[in-house]
Structure 1
């Protein structure tokens, strides 16, 4: 005889009921806590913040003031970099503003200017694209930029060219100012170096010029410059370093150095210049 023992169904049903009770209590506890939080949030929302109070005071307290304008600024709005359209192909060729220069011509240079006017007028119009005319009443050369002028420094170059001719330089030498960028003009007087009067001044001028202009030509060839000796004024045209060499030689002659000593110094300087060129 077989005896089977079975557990009562009431115990299994009781354990399942206990589990269901725990789940139900947990589920019921959660909505209660959420309801509590919702009530607290509502209570917190009821209280107005300081910023809202200030906004209300600023915006609504002055309803009668029409002069005050309130602008709402979006704090989330971000500024982006400006977008510029691309430049045109001819943007770099901007039209220059029309400018005018007047270069005075000394009375003793008026006759040479009339003879060489074609040689002066041509380079200014063809190379630089300037508009040039001779004002006879004012005794000056007037130049101005035009739509054909492409270089921004063309007017200054043209003024230096005419000024060099007015000082006494040859036209072919003055044209170098238009073609080269590192040429300059330097002018000074003998009295700037040493105060001389009478025969002492004449002898200083004679030492600079030399017999038949030999000394002046030697200084020009050694220093690669051009020199104009106009009474007590001396004008030098060349590069910065070459002008310094020529000026030092002329100053030595004005102070009384013999020409032979100056020649020796020029030979040394010219040899050094050749070595640097190589």
Structure 2
């Protein structure tokens, strides 16, 4: 056998190289995506089943108004009066969900102004607070109308008979005090137990709220009438 000259200065042992295993068809391959290595599945991932959204699901273009138990019958009796302006004039969809007991209002392709959705919701809420349909319709026909709600205890903490007497002062004999405040301030007022709802413009609501607060604090109705007349005369002069 011939002698082989080996340079001992430049001798480096060769690293053992592993023989690559034969790639089988059913073995997952390694792929890299955006710097992240992972196993490539031989079959494409299952696409998630898209759930079709129902009418009652929460969306940006839907409003849900909860209906109190004592307003079911009035809502049923006046449903046509509520349904007609919302569908015909505002071009919205409306229904009463029997399971959740909510009035649901939704936009559709025919809806021209997305602001109509909030108008319709305010209209339905006003009716559920206790206002007549004809009074609540003012929210749809006139601008700058609001509904303000507060309780007697927000003005003064009253309990038992004291609270009952305060409610009596607000209503008056045969509702005369409430009607007087409504006519002078050009608002509509609903007395629902200890809660008070006022429908009107911002300035008129402030006048009515001041008169109601004075009655709750114990002022006699005659004094409140005088204050209302003087304020109403000043407002009419400004107009």
Secondary structure, counterpart of 1:147 in structure 2:
coil
Structure-2 residue corresponding to 1:199: 161
Kindly state the Cα deviation for residue 122 of structure 1 after the two structures are TM-superposed: 0.3
Find the partner of 1:223 among 178, 185, 200. 185
Supply the distance in 2 between the matched residues of 1:98 and 1:179 (Cα, whole angstroms): 24
Cα deviation digits, residues 185-243 of structure 1 (max 9, x gap): 10000000000111111110000000000000000000000000000000000000000
What is the aligned-residue RMSD (CA, Å)? 1.1
Q: Does 1:172 pair with 2:134?
A: yes
Structure-2 residue corresponding to 1:252: 214
- The 5 A counterparts of 1:179-194 are 179-194=141-156
Task: Name whichever structure is richer in strand by fraction.
Answer: 2
Count of residues in correspondence between the two structures: 181
Structure-1 residue corresponding to 2:45: none
Supply the distance in 2 between the matched residues of 1:117 and 1:214 (Cα, whole angstroms): 30
Cα deviation digits, residues 146-183 of structure 1 (max 9, x gap): 11111121100000000000000000000110111110
Task: Name whichever structure is richer in helix by fraction.
Answer: 1
If the length of structure 1 is used for normalisation, what is the TM-score? 0.64
Kindly state the Cα deviation for residue 98 of structure 1 after the two structures are TM-superposed: 6.6
Contact 1:219 1:249 in 2 (8 A): yes
Secondary structure, counterpart of 1:218 in structure 2:
helix
Supply the distance in 2 between the matched residues of 1:265 and 1:149 (Cα, whole angstroms): 46
Provide runs of 4+ in structure 1 moved above 6 Å: none
Supply the distance in 2 between the matched residues of 1:98 and 1:231 (Cα, whole angstroms): 34
Q: Does 1:137 pair with 2:92?
A: no
Supply the distance in 1 between the matched residues of 2:169 and 2:98 (Cα, whole angstroms): 38
Structure-1 residue corresponding to 2:116: 154
Structure-1 residue corresponding to 2:34: none
If the length of structure 2 is used for normalisation, what is the TM-score? 0.74
Supply the distance in 1 between the matched residues of 2:177 and 2:104 (Cα, whole angstroms): 36
Unaligned runs of 5+ in 1: 1-96
